[in-house]
Structure 1
């Protein structure tokens, strides 16, 4: 990879990768790494990720437990990462052991970075423990691999000044991480990443978290609503 080249990282809650495949293919033309949430893939369908664009490598998780037999209702959950193989030629998949988290290690010459895609539970008191456990799992993976430059993209279900956002902010402060999208745009900017079909309300649920070493590498933050 040309070290002077600017790379584009994108996060997209696709609400079924099969239904949104054409849109993800469009993202592949302008992005180098794509973090996906709510892929809604069964375990045996993960291979579908590699069929979206043959220029891109892929990894993903399924949140659907088929061990109990027949699954009722629509699919749910799941995260994935796609990366441009011509831009990032040395990539390894990290075992996260959590259906809400997937990660890759990218080696760029003498430097390595970690990229995560995460999908957090909805903001309720009952889900608070799972939310903090997911953040702790990400932190543990980073500590275990010992890479300083890290990007954590995804749907955190953390709207500014609400419970999960406050928890996320406290965790970032403890870890010396930055919520880089809020840092760039401002918590009172009116930014939103989700529009509720039921209520018509706008929510800023998706974020990009970076470690201290990665902050200076972020040149811009844009949202496409």
Structure 2
């Protein structure tokens, strides 16, 4: 099964049905006829219009984030930024879960096809200038913090990241390259697109650059195929980017059952009879794991055979699944506690709420180890609440 994903900085999304709205939406309507997932940046929508993303096209569901709420203030000038993601109803109605990340520049969906799970993040990062450099680095830190704490390792990040890696003078390009190198993310768009390709045409300088990218985790780059830039749809400064994901090549994922402790076992507390049962169950389950003989016998140290990579990842996942399954009886089921603590609401509840707010702010800033947010978090969580 191939999923076709497109990314496009649309410079404004019109959701109405008037002739003017449809004319302005011509490229987007065309893209929706040729994709399963569409990621949009700079939608310029207000929060009150986000619900319309579910209904402006009969064949797609949608969700988005906005920087502007009409109920809170009067807007002067155009509405800035905003992101949205649309997915096809027919093929992915029961396979997609939309998850908000608490920011107005990024939105994600979780896709599940049997035992194949992966995430698609649609992002819009600040344009390159000296004043935006700190904000740009903070957003990269936020993405890394999320990806490291995520339960899934199969992740695609697509969108307008405003970094031209091919330009040696681009400071944001250097930041993005260093970010991917340090955290072992693969810049898929750089590897799969021609070196002289571009996704942005400057209306002021009449120059071209590649600002729209796709970078992925190490186990999701291999299933990518046929990445292209749709130059024939270049009617504004940004040009749509498309690629396909071969779902069958994604590694299998096993998610532990809720209520079962997933921490390491204390083997010193395991009795001989429990250990014997564990050994028998483990042997029984491991016997069912099929060896990928072709991949194991491969002697090429630089093997690029994608089937070998997928077979080895699947082999590893099945071993882990067998060990977790056989160890379940040795874990104690953790239930929720309904014990009421005297004085909680009077003395602790207020500090608890402040600590939660401070921790969220600290996490959204990329979990810095120093600075005012770090000091505030330590003060409210350790000094007062804990």
* Same fold, TM-score > 0.5, yes or no: yes
The residue that corresponds to 2:73 in the other structure is 69
The residue that corresponds to 1:172 in the other structure is 180
Classify the secondary structure of the residue corresponding to 2:219.
helix
Deviations 1:9-28 (A, max 9, x none): 11000001115433212111
What TM-score, normalized to structure 1?
0.92
Q: Compared with structure 1, are the counterparts of its residues 145 and 86 closer, same or farther at alpha carbon in structure 2 (3 Å cutoff)?
A: farther
Matched, 1:14 2:20: no
Quick check: 118-127 or 13-22, which moved more? 13-22
Runs of 5+ unmatched residues, structure 2: 15-20, 232-386
Classify the secondary structure of the residue corresponding to 1:115.
strand
CA RMSD, Structure 1 to Structure 2 (Å): 1.5
Question: How many residues are treated as equivalent by the alignment?
Answer: 219
Higher alpha-carbon Rg: 2
Q: Compared with structure 1, are the counterparts of its residues 21 and 47 closer, same or farther at alpha carbon in structure 2 (3 Å cutoff)?
A: farther
The residue that corresponds to 2:42 in the other structure is 38
The residue that corresponds to 2:228 in the other structure is 222
Classify the secondary structure of the residue corresponding to 1:26.
helix
The residue that corresponds to 2:266 in the other structure is none
Q: Compared with structure 1, are the counterparts of its residues 154 and 121 closer, same or farther at alpha carbon in structure 2 (3 Å cutoff)?
A: same
Cα drift, residue 63 of structure 1: 1.5
**Contact 1:91–1:106 at 8 Å: present in 2 too?**
yes
Deviations 1:112-146 (A, max 9, x none): 11001111101112211211221222222223332
Matched, 1:198 2:204: yes
What TM-score, normalized to structure 2?
0.55
Residue 136 (structure 1) aligned to one of 138, 141, 148: 141
**Contact 2:48–2:70 at 8 Å: present in 1 too?**
no
Q: Compared with structure 1, are the counterparts of its residues 84 and 196 closer, same or farther at alpha carbon in structure 2 (3 Å cutoff)?
A: same
Cα drift, residue 66 of structure 1: 4.1
